[in-house]
């Protein structure tokens, strides 16, 4: 593992920075950190134009082969690209592309790749993920949504929950039980379903921050062509774990946390010596967050180093996800402590301009961070069994 750029990577980093300055930051007069909620609150037209420009360069899915719209980048080149785009507050991808796209690339047929990958890159179709169910979240393999073979179709019945973006999605990638008599991990198939199919119902779930991201989705005799199955029948669990590994390898998270910690540090410095100065205990708390951010960065380096060697991070992805999501919650709690009463408002008076910190909103949004993509308890089990070789309890 190396912590500095090679000459080639340094040149590539400068190329990305110049591209960002020309295509994203040009004419921008406010700090990108003013928008901690990300792409959803940014100007849709500007975001679309930016993502189209990225796509024309092959930079939305840079590690994909050029024949599918990628740029054949190495993992290290992709890591630098993600660092620079995230650091600039620029959108880096389209919804769910980095989950279902690589899964189709690895496990799909050539026909499926040609059908789905380019429209996904161009933003012509939006995707959502149908994994969790009301009784099957942490124990995902206990899912009960059924897919019964009927000729060239599966007939799907059941319910999914916490389905991000389902109200805007054109397609859903999902896990369904195709053999109820098999051991629970071995009777599941991975399906791609058109959300415009008859008998699909989507109901909104409003989160703690008052925004509509999640949904519950109901399926009543929905027909899915067998050709839309990814991988073998009843072997979908192992395809699904590929998707989860990509979801848990989020290397952009630490860049955003690092920016947030730096912003809080500048806020503390500005308050130093004033009557409303930050108490020493909270300053020490922020110091702890800065140290933990450095640890999180090392975990991200470990993930990309494994990818650069041609490996697939598994336990390491779980370590990165667990530590990063728990750190995000601690950082947001620290922001609440530092900003005091002012930070408890959704639009915090007295924290405008350079020190605009939406502590309360970020805190509420971070609550599900240790649940999404697998709870911290699940990640600890993966680390224990697959990483440390400990027996299952």
Give the model confidence (pLDDT) of 5-17 as tens digits: 889 999 999 999 9
What value does the mean pLDDT take over residues 63-70? 88
Q: What integer best gives the mean pLDDT of the chain?
A: 86
Domain end call among 201, 234, 267: 234
- For residue 384, the number of C-alpha atoms closer than 13 Å in the C-beta half-sphere is 10
**Residue 249 tokens, joined:** 């390898």
363 inside domain: yes
Look at residue 243 and tell me if it is in a domain: no
Tell me which of 247, 285, 292, 316 is the catalytic residue: 247
Boundaries of domain holding 39: 7-93
Output 209 or 285, whichever has higher pLDDT: 285
For residue 40, the domain's CATH number is 1.10.540.10
Domain for residue 75, yes or no?
yes
Single residue among 76, 93, 110 that ends a domain in this structure: 93
* Beta bridge pairs of residue 218: 159, 201
The pLDDT score that the predictor gives to residue 246 is 62
Q: Tell me the average pLDDT across 89-100.
A: 83
Q: Which of 234, 257, 276 is the last residue of a domain?
A: 234
Residues 209 and 264 in one domain: no
Phi, psi of 42 (to 5 degrees): -85, 165
Whether 380 and 332 map to the same domain: the answer is: yes
For residue 142, is it within any domain? yes
Model-wide pTM > 0.75: yes
Q: How far apart, in whole angstroms, are the C-alpha atoms of residue 142 and residue 183?
A: 10
Query: Could you read off the pLDDT of 152-208 as tens digits, one per residue?
Result: 999 999 999 999 999 999 999 999 999 999 998 999 999 999 999 999 999 999 988
pLDDT of amino acid 303: 83
Kindly report the length of the chain: 393
Quick one: what percent of the chain has pLDDT higher than 90? 43
User: Is 247 labeled as catalytic in the residue annotation?
Assistant: yes
Nearest one of 289, 318, 309, 316 to 381, comparing CA atoms: 318
How large is the C-alpha radius of gyration of the chain? Answer: 22
CA distance 57 to 64: 12
Assess whether pLDDT exceeds 90 at residue 117.
yes
């Amino acid at each position: 593992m190396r912590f500095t750029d090679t000459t080639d990577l340094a040149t590539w980093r400068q190329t990305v920075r110049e591209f960002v300055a020309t295509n994203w930051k040009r004419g921008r007069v406010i700090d990108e950190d003013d928008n901690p909620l990300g792409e959803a609150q940014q100007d849709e037209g500007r975001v679309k134009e930016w993502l189209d420009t990225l796509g024309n360069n092959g930079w939305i899915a840079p590690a994909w082969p050029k024949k599918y719209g990628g740029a054949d980048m190495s993992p290290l080149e992709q890591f630098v690209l993600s660092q620079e785009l995230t650091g600039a507050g620029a959108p880096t991808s389209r919804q769910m592309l980095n989950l279902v796209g690589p899964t189709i690339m690895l496990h799909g047929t050539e026909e499926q790749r040609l059908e789905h990958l380019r429209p996904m890159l161009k933003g012509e179709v939006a995707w959502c993920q149908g994994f969790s169910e009301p009784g099957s979240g942490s124990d995902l393999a206990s899912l009960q949504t059924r897919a019964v073979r009927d000729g060239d179709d599966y007939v799907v019945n059941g319910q999914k929950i916490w389905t991000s973006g389902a109200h805007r999605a054109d397609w859903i990638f999902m896990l369904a039980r195709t053999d109820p008599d098999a051991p629970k991990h071995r009777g599941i198939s991975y399906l791609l379903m058109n959300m415009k199919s008859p008998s699909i119902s989507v109901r909104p779930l409003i989160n703690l921050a008052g925004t509509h991201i999640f949904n519950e989705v109901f399926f009543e005799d929905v027909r899915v062509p067998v050709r839309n199955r990814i991988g073998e029948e009843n072997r979908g669990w192992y395809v699904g774990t590929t998707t989860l590994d990509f979801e848990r390898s989020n290397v952009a998270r630490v860049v955003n946390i690092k920016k947030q910690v730096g912003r809080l540090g500048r806020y503390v410095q500005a308050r130093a010596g004033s009557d409303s100065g930050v108490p020493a205990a909270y300053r020490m708390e922020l110091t702890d967050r800065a140290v933990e951010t450095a640890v999180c960065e090392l975990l991200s380096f470990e993930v990309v180093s494994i990818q650069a060697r041609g490996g697939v991070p598994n336990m390491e992805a779980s370590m990165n996800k667990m530590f990063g999501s728990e750190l995000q919650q601690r950082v947001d709690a620290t922001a609440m402590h530092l900003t005091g009463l002012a930070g408890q408002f959704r639009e915090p008076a007295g924290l405008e301009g350079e020190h605009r910190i939406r502590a309360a909103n970020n805190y509420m949004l971070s609550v599900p961070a240790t649940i999404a993509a697998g709870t911290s308890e699940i990640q600890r089990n993966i680390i224990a069994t697959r990483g440390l070789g400990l027996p299952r309890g």
